[in-house]
Amino acid sequence: MTNQTKIEWTDFTVNFWEGCQKVGPGCDHCYAEARDVRFTGGSHWGPGAPRRKVKGGVAKLLKINRDAPTFHEAHGHWPRVFCSSLSDVFDNAVDRLWREEALLTVQIMVDTRIQLLTKRVGNVEKMVEGLWLGGWPQHVGLMITVVNQAEADRDIPKLLDLKARLGIPWVGLSMEPLLGPVDLTAIPDPSGLAHSHMDALRGKFWMPPEHVDWPTSSRAMDGRLNVNLCPWVDWVIVGGESGPNARPMHPDWVRSLRDQCAAAGTPFLFKQWGEWKPVSDMTEDEYRPLYRSNRKARDYERQEIIDDLYGETCTVPTLSLQLDGEHKDTLDIGAWGKGAMMAFKVGKKRAGRLLDGIEHNGFPGALT
Ligand code: SF4
């Protein structure tokens, strides 16, 4: 049996090549690039850099597919396979023949559940055109990375349009590293219709009541006018950043996405906090030792304890996180904005993946 990965939302990773080019803020601290520097000389990233073919990629996927019945018996689901974790399948700079070999192999691995993840959703249609003659394979789902509201507004309409037109069975969002608050229920209507928004989790366009002069009976209970149906997002994964230069993630950004998904019935998976852990998700036993000088435990709210400890020296880096994504390397609480939260750089392992004490492991029906 092929070795499984520790990535929480998949069982196996398969790479057909390595190398890529940074295309957005989510790429700033690309772990695959750091790995390339460490193991293969670091010459496969950036414009014009040659990508490196992975010899065993196709063979690994064939083996996973061959062993799939045994895997299914042991785990109760077909093996989920993340292609490609060290590159982007829809990278313009990769050899066309490499991609075609990869996508044709993917097409026939029908006993696996393929998870294609890209930051280049605009390339997908032209790169599969004429390749999958029977249409989009029904064991293959498409995920895009979304790290902030600007990317959500730009790319989710494209993803949902592809889902409808190409018959993609399920689509998902990998919101890692999450770098700001995101409202998935109010994406500006890509058709440009004034005041119209897309609710990407429920598959609806809607208008706020103040902009529509229609009878109340036409409105949803919340007063919005639901205009028509569109495809919807089937899965949301959220995670913080890891690595030495990781950026922190505000817990309220994650909570908001958790709550949006719960309200819409969308499966939600919280992958990890990453390098930084907010104090709001620590127990007193966890955060007290982070300070050199402990004070006598008192019956305080956690934030009040932090206020109480104002000015003391921490044993690990700490910073405050603003709701708008800015942060300050300061313990001067007076400089913090509304909704600010303190976070500690405790490392990915120690930070864990509990959100308000709960592990979230939602998967869409197609992957269960
Ligand atoms: S798209 Fe992915 S693999 Fe490529 S640079 Fe960005 S994070 Fe790295």
Q: Are 261 and 362 in contact (CB under 8 A)?
A: yes
Q: Whose CA is nearest to atom 5 of ligand 1?
A: 22
In order of 18, 124, 135, 248, the CA distances from 128 in angstroms are 20, 6, 9, 36
Distance (Å, rounded) from C-alpha 68 to C-alpha 128?
25
Per residue of the chain (368 residues), give pLDDT as tens.
788 999 999 999 999 999 999 999 999 999 999 999 989 888 999 988 999 999 999 999 999 999 999 999 999 999 999 999 999 999 999 999 999 999 999 999 999 999 999 999 999 999 999 999 999 999 999 999 999 999 999 999 999 999 999 999 999 999 999 998 899 999 998 887 777 899 999 998 887 777 766 555 555 656 676 767 889 999 999 999 998 888 888 888 899 999 999 999 999 999 999 998 887 888 877 876 665 433 333 333 344 444 444 334 444 555 556 556 555 544 444 455 556 667 778 889 999 999 999 999 999 999 99
Q: Are strands 171-175 and 140-145 parallel, antiparallel or unpaired?
A: parallel
Q: Which residues make Cβ contacts (< 8 Å) with residue 33, sequence separation at least 6?
A: 20, 22, 42, 45
Whether the CB of 333 sits within 6 Å of ligand 1: no
Whether the CB of 88 sits within 6 Å of ligand 1: yes
Do 109 and 43 share a structural domain?
Answer: yes
User: What number does the ligand 1 atom closest to the CA of 31 have?
Assistant: 8
Do 309 and 184 share a structural domain?
Answer: no
* Number of domains composing the chain: 2
Do the domain assignments include residue 2? Answer: no
Whether the CB of 22 sits within 6 Å of ligand 1: yes
> Model pTM greater than 0.85?
yes
Q: Whose CA is nearest to atom 8 of ligand 1?
A: 30
Do the domain assignments include residue 210? Answer: no
Whether the CB of 30 sits within 6 Å of ligand 1: yes
Do the domain assignments include residue 202? Answer: no
Distance (Å, rounded) from C-alpha 299 to C-alpha 296?
10
Do the domain assignments include residue 5? Answer: no
Do 340 and 258 share a structural domain?
Answer: no
Do the domain assignments include residue 209? Answer: no
User: What number does the ligand 1 atom closest to the CA of 45 have?
Assistant: 5
- In terms of residue numbers, what domain contains 31? 12-196+224-275+352-367
Whether the CB of 27 sits within 6 Å of ligand 1: yes
Q: Whose CA is nearest to atom 3 of ligand 1?
A: 87
| Geometric angle at alpha carbon 363, from 362 and 368, rounded to 5° | 130
Do 80 and 177 share a structural domain?
Answer: yes
User: What number does the ligand 1 atom closest to the CA of 22 have?
Assistant: 5
